[in-house]
Amino acid sequence: MKEYFVKMRVIILGQYPLDMKKIRGGVETCIIGLVNELKKYSDIELHVITKEIMWENITKVEDNVTIHYLASPPLPRFVTIKTIDQHKTIKKIKELKPDVVHAHMTAGPGYCALKSGFPNIVTVHGITKEEYDPKIRPGLLDTIRRMVAVPMEDYVFKHAKVLTVVSYYVKKNIKPFCKGEIYIIPNGIRNEFFEIENNEIENRLLFVGGIEPRKSLLNLLKAVKIIKKEIPDVRLHIVGSVRKQRYYNSLVEYVNQNNLNDNIIFKGELSDEEVKKEFSECSVFVLPSKVESFGIVLAEAEACGKPVVASNIGGIPYVIDDNETGFLVEYGDIDGFANKILLLLNDKNLRNKIGIAGMEKAKQFSNKDIAKRYYNLYNAVIHNGKRK
């Protein structure tokens, strides 16, 4: 009798770029890395479902991956997330009839995965209640977003049978609200970050991330002002899109008022290759965030062999070993942040020592290992579903 080889049909649900040269944020970076490894498995039929602001759906087949770009009109996300986007996403999932759906983020993808009725895993990259804290995002639009997203997140926590989180910090904070199993599987780093050459430009600092209050860039600018007194030619490159225009305007005003125009350079949103060049050239990577569940950019900096100075909050201590792969400073301690940066800028041997330790630490975040862990979890979820 002829035997037929049946593949496991897997759907990855979440942000995925239409243009690979323009990667938008940490979640998208993680999904790309996971997809690039999972497509190598001969027993997986891999689909990605994502939304894109456009008028017609697009389907692409690339390297054994079928990518479904679902059209979403140019309206605020809180308008489309539970209407057009939800309807189209669930409809597409049901058309594909997957063995398992792996959703990234709770509000939106996770909610749709559960509502589709198929076996699923929800990866919690960040806690909506925390990221949309009124103290961090007090505006009217963010209040509306919070009112829409938090109930969806609550539903996922209450009904999901299997969740993965990117750090122990996230697990500790969501466990009281969850009934399902929770596994810690960190975000992965794309292989090319381990291959970036070190073309350091001395006294160059780098920040990569969205320009918004929770990243606390104003504290970083104040630290640069202190550093400038000792190192006049210090340069901070800020790479990322403007997510809060009013906040960005306040940063520019601070730069102008404190004569920091030659020291602070807003690079804007760069291509993937341009971002890698920034990593290559920096002396120290900095992240002064107030809220951070993991911080994939920190792991990327470690993979490049760059020492890090970051806030001692959230999931950051899971990525950075204090005094070994970087320095952790209590949030809001501007003098402490400046002093740790100065310590590194003034000691190349220390930078090299910490950079080497960081590269070793980053190996535990390799996408190959992360993909293998998810592959095993997919099989477990599918088999458990069949038994029921």
Res 20: pLDDT: 75
**Phi/psi of residue 368, nearest 5 degrees:** -60, -45
**Phi/psi of residue 72, nearest 5 degrees:** -130, 130
Same domain, 113 and 205: no
Same domain, 162 and 18: yes
Same domain, 200 and 184: no
The DSSP result for 196-254, as a single string, is: ------TTEEEEES-BSGGG-HHHHHHHHHHHHTT-TT-EEEEES-BS-HHHHHHHHHH
The count of residues in the chain is: 388
Same domain, 84 and 223: no
Same domain, 202 and 184: no
Res 3: pLDDT: 44
- For residue 1, tell me if it sits in a domain: no
Same domain, 232 and 305: yes
The answer to whether residues 100 and 382 touch, using CB atoms and an 8 Å cutoff, is: yes
- For residue 98, tell me if it sits in a domain: yes
| pLDDT classification of 22: cutoffs 50, 70, 90 | confident
State the pTM of this model.
0.85
- For residue 287, tell me if it sits in a domain: yes
Question: What sign results for the dihedral spanned by CA atoms 18, 35, 286, 290?
Answer: positive
C-alpha 388/C-alpha 377 separation (Å) is 17
User: Would you state the structure tokens that stand for residue 112, as one six-digit string?
Assistant: 């749709």
- Helix or strand or coil: residue 308? strand
The answer to whether residues 9 and 163 touch, using CB atoms and an 8 Å cutoff, is: no
Same domain, 209 and 357: yes
Same domain, 25 and 173: yes
Same domain, 147 and 216: no
Look at strands 65-72 and 58-62 and give their pairing: antiparallel
Same domain, 352 and 242: yes
Bridge partners of residue 69, in order along the sequence = 50, 58
- For residue 20, tell me if it sits in a domain: yes
Q: For residue 179, what is the domain's CATH number?
A: 3.40.50.2000
- For residue 3, tell me if it sits in a domain: no
Same domain, 218 and 178: no
Range of the domain at 66: 8-188+366-387
Mean pLDDT, residues 165-171? 93
- For residue 311, tell me if it sits in a domain: yes
Res 5: pLDDT: 56
C-alpha 292/C-alpha 331 separation (Å) is 11
- For residue 321, tell me if it sits in a domain: yes
* Ranges 107-116, 135-144, 214-223: which has the least confidence: 135-144
- For residue 31, tell me if it sits in a domain: yes
Q: How many CB atoms lie within 10 A of CB 112?
A: 27
Percent of the chain with pLDDT over 70: 96
As for how many domains the chain has, the answer is 2
